[in-house]
C-alpha cells in the first residue's frame, strides 16, 4: 500500500501545530483565548523545557523526519530563545519542507 | 500464564549484592542465586544505560540498534545538534515485539528508549519520560486509568525528574540525601505495584520491569556502601545513609519476592543489570585537553566549572559552549563518553571517510590518550574506541566518532575547567563493565559461568518463552545456564530474521550542505589537513 506526501504551506503548518499541541499537552490549561498563531508555548501554554523536547519528538514522528535542526528556532545569537510561538514552529515546519504523510 | 519474569536492577553489581546475600539483607535474591545460575553480565563496550538496556532487549549491539545515548546526535550538520532518543531510533526488533508476534503477551515497564510505545500485544509503561506526558505514553492508553487507581500512585514520583536527577548526580547537598533515597524507595514500590497488578490481572507470558533506583543510589552513595572507601562524612551521617540504602535494597528484595509469588512458582526468573558499578575519585575534562591541542575553541562566556559538574545547568543543548569556527572535535554529552568530529566524512554511512577525517580522528585520539595525571604520570584515558571497531553494524555511523574509556570507567565532564583533571571532594559511584545475571526456575541449572554477554539475554528470554530465536541476533543462547534435561526437552529453535522496525531516519540527513562543507573545509585547511 503506497503513501503520498503533501508538503505543507505556512497556513496548513499552523493548523498542524495547533493539532499537535492538542495531543502533546496533557496538563490542565486555563486559556482565555483559543490557541492561535501568536500563542506562546511557555507564557501561554505553560510549557517546561522538557515539554518542548517532547513536542520536538512529536513533530519528528508526525512528519517522519529525523533530520530537523530544531536549534534553528531554539538558539538565537548563541543564546536559547525564551519562548516560541505557534507561528515560529509553523514557519520552521514549512521552511524544512515537512509533509503530511497520506495513506 | 506467566512463563518469564525479567527483573532489571539498573547498575547492580555482585560486589555489593554478595555482601547483602551474606548478611541476610536480600534473602530472595540470595535464594535465587543458591538455586539457579549466576554470572557476571558483560555490558556494551561503553557501559551506559540506553545502549546497554537496548542491547539486552534486542540481542544486538549498539552499532546495529543505533542507540548510544539518551540523546540522538544528528549527523552531518554544520554543528552537532541533538534530540531525545526515542523508540523510533531503535533500529532493531525488541524481544517485546518478537514475543508479541509469536503469540505471547508482554508487560514491559520502565525500560529506557521505549517512548513512544511500539506496537506490542500487552502493556507498556516507558521509563525516562516526563511525568506530565505519562497519560499519552502508556500502551494501551486506557492503562493510565488503571495506574491512577493504584494506591499511592504519583506520576511525579514514578517518572523522570530530570532536574532532581542531574542535581543528585552532581551537587546534592548532604541534607537532601535522605529524601533522595526515600524517594527511590517509594518509586520502586510504585513500579512493583504496577507489575504486581498486571501479573495478577493479565498474566502475560513475559513480564519485565526495571528498578532503576539501584543505579541512582549507587552513583550518589557509593562511599557509604563500599567498605573499602572512606565516606568522609560527619559523625553519624554515614551510618544513617548506609542504613537507608540498606532499607532500599531490602525493599527491592521484598518486591522481587512479591513479583515471584504473583507470577507463580513455575515461572523462570531472570534478574539482570545493564552494567556494574565502582568508585570514581576524579573528574576528567576532555574538552580542555582538546582546546589545548587546538581542536576546540570555547564560546565567549563559556564559564569555568568550579563545582565538579559534568554538564551545564538545565536541559540546554551544550553546543552553545563552543565556538564552532574554531572547533573540529568536542565531547558533547557526558553520558556517552563520546567525542564528535565535525568534518566531512564523519557522518558517512558507507565507509567513505575522507583521509582528512581519519587523520584528524587519530590526532584527536592521540591527544586524549597522551594526557597524563600530573601527580602520577599515568594516562587518564585508558582507551579510545573507534566507532567502527567498538560498535560494528550498519548504524555505527551514528556513534560518536571516538568513545573514551577512562581509567576509573567514569563519565567525563563536557565543561570548561582550569585543568583537565580534578579530584572529587568525595568518592562517587560510576558505571563498570560487569553487571549481574541470575536465572532461577524450571529451565535453569546451578551454574556459575564466569561471564555472559548482555546481548545473550534476548535469546535466553525468547527461548524460555518457547519462541524461535531470530537468526540475526548477535548474542548466542547461553545454554550453559540451562538445565541439560530441560534443554533436551526444549531444544532451541531458530527462526526467520527479526522484523526490523520501520524508522523515519533519512540518510539524506548526512549531507552537510554546501555551506557546511565550505565551513569545515576552511577549518581543515587552517589545521593543515587539506590544501
Residues of chain A found within 8 Å of residue B317, distances taken between Cβ atoms: 71, 74-75
Structure confidence at residue B164 as a pLDDT band (50, 70, 90): confident
Residue of chain B whose alpha carbon sits nearest to that of A22:
B136
HSE-CB for B348 with a 13 A CA cutoff: 12
pLDDT of res. B354? 65
Structure confidence at residue B524 as a pLDDT band (50, 70, 90): very low
pLDDT of res. B309? 83
B458 within 8 A of B56, measured Cβ to Cβ: yes
Cα–Cα distance for residue pair A44/A38, rounded to 1 Å: 10
Mean pLDDT score across all residues of chain B:
90
Q: What ipTM was assigned to the predicted interfaces of this complex?
A: 0.84
Q: Which of A62, A71, A73, A82 best probes binding to B when mutated, by most B CB atoms within 10 angstroms? A: A71
Residues of chain A found within 8 Å of residue B503, distances taken between Cβ atoms: 66
pLDDT-above-70 percentage for chain B: 90
pLDDT of res. B79? 74
Q: Do B506 and A24 touch (CB under 8 A)?
A: no
Cell digits of residue B300: 565567549
Q: What is the pLDDT of residues B72-86, one digit of tens each?
A: 887 666 677 888 899
Residues of chain A found within 8 Å of residue B116, distances taken between Cβ atoms: 57, 61
Q: What is the pLDDT of residues B100-113, one digit of tens each?
A: 999 999 999 999 99
Considering only residues 119 to 138 of chain B, which have any Cβ-Cβ distance to chain A shorter than 8 Å?
129-130, 132-136
Single out the residue of B166, B315, B159 nearest to residue A49, CA to CA.
B315
Q: Measure CB to CB from residue A49 to each of B74, B134, B315 and give the nearest one.
A: B315
Single out the residue of B451, B476, B433, B485 nearest to residue B37, CA to CA.
B451
pLDDT over threshold 60, residue A1: no
pLDDT of res. A26? 78
Residues of chain B found within 8 Å of residue A51, distances taken between Cβ atoms: 130, 132-133
Report the pLDDT averaged over residues B224-236.
Answer: 92
Report the pLDDT averaged over residues B287-313.
Answer: 88
pLDDT of res. A76? 83
B340 within 8 A of B330, measured Cβ to Cβ: yes
Residues of chain A found within 8 Å of residue B80, distances taken between Cβ atoms: none
Structure confidence at residue B512 as a pLDDT band (50, 70, 90): very low
B289 within 8 A of B367, measured Cβ to Cβ: yes
Grid cell 573545509 is found at B521
B319 touches chain A (CB under 8 A): yes
Q: Do B81 and A61 touch (CB under 8 A)?
A: no
Report the pLDDT averaged over residues B208-214.
Answer: 97
pLDDT of res. B290? 98
**Which residues are B280's β-sheet partners?**
B428
pLDDT of res. B78? 67
State the sign of the Cα–Cα–Cα–Cα dihedral B149, B152, B157, B159: negative
Residues of A with CB under 8 A from a CB of B: 23-24, 26-27, 48-51, 53-54, 56-57, 60-61, 63-67, 69-71, 74-75, 78-80
A58 within 8 A of B130, measured Cβ to Cβ: no
pLDDT of res. A50? 84
Q: Measure CB to CB from residue B74 to each of A26, A64, A67 and give the nearest one.
A: A67
Cα–Cα distance for residue pair B275/B52, rounded to 1 Å: 7
pLDDT over threshold 80, residue B344: no
Query: Per DSSP, which regions of B362-449 are E strands?
Result: 381-386, 402-406, 421-432, 434-440
Enter the DSSP assignment of B69: S
B21 within 8 A of B35, measured Cβ to Cβ: no
Q: Which of A24-28, A69-73, A88-92, B378-382 shows the lowest mean pLDDT across its residues?
A: A24-28
Q: What is the pLDDT of residues A31-49, one digit of tens each?
A: 888 899 999 999 999 998 8
Q: Which of B130, B134, B512 best probes binding to A when mutated, by most A CB atoms within 10 angstroms? A: B130
Structure confidence at residue B465 as a pLDDT band (50, 70, 90): very high
Cell digits of residue B373: 595525571
Q: Do A24 and B88 touch (CB under 8 A)?
A: no
Which of helix, strand or coil describes residue B11?
A: coil
Grid cell 506530565 is found at B132
Cα–Cα distance for residue pair B287/B74, rounded to 1 Å: 20
pLDDT over threshold 60, residue B518: no
Q: Which of A79-88, B217-226, B403-412, B444-453 shows the lowest mean pLDDT across its residues?
A: A79-88
Residue of chain B whose alpha carbon sits nearest to that of A78:
B320
Enter the DSSP assignment of B110: S
Structure confidence at residue B502 as a pLDDT band (50, 70, 90): confident
The whole model's pTM is what?
A: 0.91
Distances (CA, A) of B346 to B291, B338, B357, B390, B414: 20, 13, 6, 16, 20
Query: Per DSSP, which regions of B295-444 are E strands?
Result: 329-331, 338-341, 381-386, 402-406, 421-432, 434-440
pLDDT of res. B503? 64
Q: Which of B76, B136, B303 best probes binding to A when mutated, by most A CB atoms within 10 angstroms? A: B136
Amino acid at each position: 500500500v503506497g503513501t503520498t506526501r503533501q508538503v505543507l504551506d505556512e497556513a496548513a503548518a499552523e493548523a498542524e501545530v495547533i493539532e499537535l499541541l492538542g495531543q502533546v499537552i496533557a496538563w490542565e490549561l486555563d486559556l482565555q483565548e483559543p490557541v492561535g498563531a501568536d500563542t506562546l508555548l511557555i507564557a501561554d501554554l505553560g510549557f517546561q523545557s522538557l515539554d518542548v523536547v517532547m513536542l520536538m519528538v512529536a513533530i519528528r514522528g508526525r512528519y517522519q523526519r529525523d533530520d530537523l535542526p530544531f536549534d534553528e528556532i531554539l538558539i538565537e545569537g548563541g543564546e536559547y530563545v525564551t519562548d516560541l510561538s505557534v507561528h515560529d514552529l509553523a514557519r520552521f515546519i514549512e521552511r524544512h519542507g515537512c509533509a503530511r504523510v497520506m495513506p | 500464564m506467566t512463563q518469564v519474569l525479567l527483573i532489571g536492577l539498573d547498575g547492580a553489581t555482585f560486589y555489593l549484592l554478595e555482601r547483602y546475600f551474606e548478611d541476610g539483607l536480600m534473602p530472595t535474591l540470595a535464594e535465587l542465586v543458591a538455586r539457579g545460575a549466576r554470572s557476571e553480565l558483560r555490558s556494551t563496550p561503553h557501559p551506559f544505560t540506553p545502549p546497554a538496556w537496548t542491547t539486552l532487549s534486542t540481542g544486538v549491539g549498539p552499532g546495529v540498534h543505533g542507540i548510544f545515548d539518551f540523546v540522538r546526535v544528528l549527523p552531518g550538520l554544520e554543528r552537532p545538534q541533538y534530540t531525545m532518543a526515542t523508540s523510533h531510533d531503535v533500529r532493531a526488533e525488541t524481544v517485546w515485539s518478537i514475543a508479541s508476534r509469536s503469540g505471547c503477551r508482554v508487560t514491559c515497564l520502565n525500560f529506557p528508549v521505549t517512548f513512544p510505545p511500539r506496537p506490542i500485544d500487552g502493556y507498556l509503561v516507558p521509563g525516562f519520560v516526563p511525568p506530565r506526558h505519562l497519560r499519552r505514553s502508556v500502551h494501551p492508553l486506557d492503562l493510565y486509568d488503571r495506574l491512577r487507581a493504584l494506591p499511592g500512585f504519583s506520576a511525579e514520583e514514578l517518572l523522570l525528574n530530570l532536574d532532581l536527577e542531574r542535581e543528585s548526580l552532581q551537587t546534592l547537598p548532604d541534607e537532601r540525601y535522605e529524601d533522595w533515597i526515600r524517594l527511590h524507595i517509594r518509586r520502586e514500590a510504585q513500579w512493583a505495584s504496577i507489575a504486581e497488578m498486571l501479573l495478577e490481572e493479565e498474566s502475560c507470558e513475559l513480564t519485565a520491569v526495571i528498578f532503576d533506583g539501584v543505579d541512582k543510589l549507587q552513583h550518589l552513595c557509593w562511599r557509604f556502601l563500599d567498605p573499602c572507601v572512606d565516606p568522609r562524612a560527619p559523625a553519624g551521617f554515614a551510618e544513617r545513609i548506609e542504613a537507608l540504602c540498606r532499607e532500599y535494597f531490602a525493599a527491592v528484595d521484598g518486591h522481587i519476592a512479591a513479583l515471584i509469588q504473583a507470577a507463580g512458582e513455575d515461572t523462570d526468573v531472570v534478574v539482570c543489570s545493564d552494567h556494574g558499578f565502582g568508585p570514581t575519585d576524579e573528574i576528567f575534562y576532555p574538552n580542555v585537553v582538546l582546546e589545548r591541542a587546538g581542536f576546540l575553541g570555547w564560546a565567549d562566556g563559556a564559564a569555568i566549572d568550579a563545582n565538579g559538574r559534568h554538564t551545564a545547568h538545565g536541559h540546554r543543548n551544550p553546543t552553545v559552549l563552543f565556538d564552532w569556527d574554531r572547533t573540529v572535535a568536542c565531547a558533547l554529552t557526558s553520558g556517552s563518553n563520546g567525542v564528535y568530529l565535525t568534518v566531512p566524512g564523519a557522518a558517512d554511512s558507507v565507509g567513505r571517510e575522507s583521509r582528512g577525517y581519519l587523520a584528524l580522528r587519530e590526532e584527536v585520539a592521540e591527544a586524549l590518550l597522551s594526557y597524563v595525571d600530573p601527580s602520577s604520570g599515568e594516562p587518564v584515558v585508558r582507551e579510545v574506541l573507534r566507532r567502527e571497531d567498538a560498535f560494528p553494524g550498519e548504524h555505527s555511523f551514528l556513534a560518536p566518532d571516538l568513545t573514551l574509556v577512562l581509567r576509573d570507567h567514569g563519565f567525563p565532564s563536557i565543561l570548561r575547567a582550569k585543568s583537565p583533571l580534578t579530584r572529587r571532594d568525595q568518592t562517587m559511584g560510576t558505571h563498570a563493565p560487569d553487571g549481574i545475571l541470575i536465572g532461577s526456575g524450571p529451565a535453569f541449572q546451578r551454574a556459575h559461568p564466569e561471564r555472559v554477554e548482555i546481548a545473550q539475554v534476548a535469546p535466553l528470554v525468547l527461548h524460555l518463552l518457547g519462541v524461535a530465536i531470530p537468526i540475526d541476533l548477535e548474542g548466542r543462547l547461553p545454554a550453559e545456564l540451562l538445565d541439560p534435561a530441560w534443554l533436551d526437552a526444549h531444544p532451541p529453535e531458530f527462526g526467520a530474521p527479526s522484523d526490523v522496525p520501520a524508522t523515519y531516519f533519512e540518510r539524506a540527513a548526512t549531507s552537510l550542505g554546501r555551506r557546511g562543507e565550505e565551513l569545515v573545509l576552511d577549518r581543515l585547511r587552517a589545521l593543515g589537513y587539506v590544501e
